[in-house]
Structure 1
């Protein structure tokens, strides 16, 4: 039987032999693309319309365990994995497809090397975050990369971490030291500064630099500060009673959603006040959540699990969510009351239960029709449209692994 390891918001990584050679799937920061790490290399896809935008073959990169895109730019972060890796699992290599030449040595422009396996990578236009099992490193990126700071963490075998993609806010979230808690590192940035540079497909050129972390970096809570020795009080949210299993930030970084290992509830918190905003119920039986994602305007949330179901919840108008029939009974005991007060999904659809998947929202076709995309490790692509009254129907199905190149990467 196959088992999977969820890396939080946008990705799922397999821990046993992969279906059709897929080792992990990741959306980019705005969910307009997804990248597929495979035994045979890397493939990059546009979501709507679905098309392959490029690939790196086995001769170039070997088998790959993790791949992360920087928006829709020419930069990819690669971590070796699978059965025949060319790169080490303790290194993150930055591939720049804008560099001339076809050999991998011409395209690899940056390397971060550690002493333990890399479990996750998160990127934005000014920083890269690299997650190990017990430590998280933050570097300036991509110009003149330097380590800004590092965090010791609770045992984090799933590499859980999320980084706000908006340049308007400096925000990083990962499991806190206390069981079931979330650690937030937050500071408002300066109106979209990018340090004097921009990134777009085929424009960015980064000199090769080898980066090795030093052991004497101070623990900083201020994500925008790089001055050594400065720090602030930890910002912790006690989200669950058991260990956190999935975590996700919305696009502006104002709300964080998380689920525990039990997988029955998803809780949303305000990242500034730490106040719990809403509690959403996936179901009553335990499940492993693979992915949680917000719609672009934070009006909806979707979540996938090993039950083979993708659930869709309303956030802007929570009255659209279903409630337990017991809510109409009246006063109940505290244990039942918690169950009754939870909000159930507005809509849901199923994918193959044995195949882990990531999910995200597509482009709205009209004011009253929204869509959710599910990408499965078995190579299938599912698109469902749903309406505020809970109707949910499949609009598209494809096998993305059978799609050929449409464009150069």
Structure 2
């Protein structure tokens, strides 16, 4: 796309204005677990019982505030008006829940760190359990918060990796060292009400992608090379972004919601343009498969689309292999191909962009988020109505996905 800018600069380590931490001194290091030796939550002997204090199990289903996957989509979390719940995806199972007594249990954001004992929490609701201007670091082995970051403005979201905590505000992003909670970098953005921000989790050096200062602009921070890149992804405001774990590919959608674009993060070049539909819609979620062969997209139209990201390099070889004895026939075929190429260049983007290969239909207007399952050709879908779907798509024939599992995770005995 246009307006690609590369900058070499050192990070600015001082926050200002409403985003300034209430206490500039770092939290005591003994409050934080050594993130290099974190334990898995699947080790049942190492963590407290799901019904241990201060947790209270209530019979009526809680009110759902937010849902999110962990970094490798093996688990997902639900923030509720009573606390939070952690589930595994394959197979579906409730790992544990932490429900706080009284009427002040509201938790909005629950950001896991893979499957370890450390999570980041942000409060929400009329009576939030934690103030919405704080990021609380929860250690589930200890059953309590072991540290926090406090600000003058409400926090919109948070991202975790083993060495960094990334705090997202409406027009700013702050990057902290995880262990010492020292501020390393602050990033100015345009208005970012959806808290768009994605980071890499597997690479040695973090890559961070967020909105730039202008409408439709992407900002990429390469912390390994200490460079900043800007490029324009859309003419309208950004609505959703997704980043591969290695930080090489970026998917973007605008507020129009008709097109999804896939970019090379390194140089900002456009690799693919995918068409979700022709009607304006809100894109809720996008996710790359492991290996980035597929991209899943959910929207308020109630449809989850799966797009192929593989380049169709076999098409020309297939045509060349269909040889006939007649040279005139071969020449005619070549002219047809050239004609089609010419026509494609004259047609609008509606015909030249690529359409999805598989779909799954849901309740229209309801927010669903998507991820790819650990099993081959499977998609995980979770909704704000408590719905959990595990579906399989046919990578060759395409068409509608086949549901493998349908559960109400707020009422596990009920199926959709």
TM-score bracket for this pair, using the shorter chain length: 0.7 to 0.9
Deviations 1:12-32 (A, max 9, x none): xxxxxxx96111111000000
In the alignment, what sits opposite 2:78?
36
State the structure with more CA Rg: 2
In the alignment, what sits opposite 1:385?
392
Unaligned runs of 5+ in 2: 1-60, 315-337
In the alignment, what sits opposite 1:245?
239
Q: Which of the pair has the greater relative contact order for Cα pairs under 8 Å at 6+ separation?
A: 1
Q: Give the 3-state SS of the residue equivalent to 2:223 in structure 1.
A: strand
In the alignment, what sits opposite 1:346?
357
Pairing 1:170–2:206 present: yes
> 1:373 is matched with which residue: 380, 385, 388?
380
| TM-score of the superposed pair, with normalisation by structure 2 | 0.75
Q: Which has the higher strand share?
A: 1
In the alignment, what sits opposite 1:196?
none
In the alignment, what sits opposite 1:73?
116
| Cα pair 2:203 2:245 within 8 Å, conserved | no
Q: Please give the alpha-carbon distance, in whole angstroms, between the structure 2 residues aligned to 1:128 and 1:340.
A: 43
Q: Give the 3-state SS of the residue equivalent to 2:351 in structure 1.
A: helix
Give the 3 Å change call, closer, same or farther, for CA 54–238 of structure 1 in structure 2. same
Pairing 1:111–2:141 present: no
CA shift at 1:354, angstroms?
A: 3.3
Segments of 4+ moved more than 6 angstroms: 327-330
| Cα pair 2:173 2:187 within 8 Å, conserved | yes
Q: Give the 3-state SS of the residue equivalent to 2:279 in structure 1.
A: coil
Matches within 5 A, 1:284-323: 284-317=278-311
| Cα pair 1:185 1:235 within 8 Å, conserved | yes
Pairing 1:270–2:264 present: yes
CA shift at 1:144, angstroms?
A: 1.7
CA shift at 1:74, angstroms?
A: 0.4
Pairing 1:49–2:91 present: yes
Q: Please give the alpha-carbon distance, in whole angstroms, between the structure 2 residues aligned to 1:334 and 1:258.
A: 24
**May I ask how many residue pairs the two structures share in their alignment?**
328
Q: Please give the alpha-carbon distance, in whole angstroms, between the structure 2 residues aligned to 1:302 and 1:155.
A: 26
CA shift at 1:295, angstroms?
A: 0.4
Deviations 1:374-403 (A, max 9, x none): 001101111110112204211111111123
Unaligned runs of 5+ in 1: 1-18, 190-221, 223-231, 321-326, 405-409
Q: Please give the alpha-carbon distance, in whole angstroms, between the structure 2 residues aligned to 1:318 and 1:148.
A: 43
Give the 3 Å change call, closer, same or farther, for CA 328–386 of structure 1 in structure 2. farther
Q: Give the 3-state SS of the residue equivalent to 1:339 in structure 2.
A: helix
| Cα pair 2:344 2:352 within 8 Å, conserved | no
Deviations 1:18-47 (A, max 9, x none): x96111111000000001001121000000
In the alignment, what sits opposite 1:133?
170
| Cα pair 1:303 1:359 within 8 Å, conserved | yes
RMSD: 2.3
CA shift at 1:355, angstroms?
A: 2.0
Deviations 1:86-108 (A, max 9, x none): 21111100110112xx5xxxx11
